[in-house]
Amino acid sequence: MALAVAGTLGPAAVALAAPTTDARIVVEATNGQLKALKGKVFDKACNESVDYDATVIDLNGDGQPEVFTNLYGTCVGGMAGVFMQLYIKDASGQWKPQFGFPGQPEALKSKNLGFPDIAVGGPGTCFPVWRWNGKEYAPYKKCR
């Protein structure tokens, strides 16, 4: 089953687990910042509550979950309207945030080391592509 995060992750993402399990994974991955799969969270920099959603997926098909989160609004997401984050467990079992900036993720068919390349959409016509290097997602194709 394909699962989209904000409608764009596509066939490279595989849905995992039941909603209650997913919510626990989101709490763990975000270190308790987000408490459910969807809701509101207070953003100190914006001094307001913003809507969020979270999706638990298995990007690389290894049976271990990854977590995409989106915070919505122009205060946190600028012109893209969404601030995205991806949490991946490292070799020691610690959740490590990836991205952490405005944009809309789209998993591509191309892969590196088992993880899909991810295009980051936003305003405009050029969308940079990030690639997994074994430790983190790093810029792969930049906009010119």
What is the secondary structure of the chain as a DSSP string?
-B--STT--GGG-EE-S-HHHHHHHHHHHTTTS--SSEEEEEETTTTEEEEEEEEEEESSSSS--EEEEEEESHHHHGGGTEEEEEEEE-TTS-EEEEEEEE-EEEEEEEEETTEEEEEEE-SSS---EEEE-SSSEEEEE---
88 in Cβ contact with 60 (< 8 Å): no
Quote the pLDDT of residue 14.
Answer: 52
Quote the pLDDT of residue 143.
Answer: 86
Quote the pLDDT of residue 7.
Answer: 45
Quote the pLDDT of residue 89.
Answer: 96
pLDDT string in tens for the chain (144-residue length): 233 344 455 545 555 545 569 999 999 999 999 999 999 999 999 999 999 999 999 999 999 999 999 999 989 998 888 999 999 999 999 999 999 999 999 999 999 999 999 999 888 888 999 999 999 999 999 987
Quote the pLDDT of residue 126.
Answer: 87
Quote the pLDDT of residue 74.
Answer: 86
Q: What is the pTM of this model?
A: 0.83
Tokens of 23: 């919510």
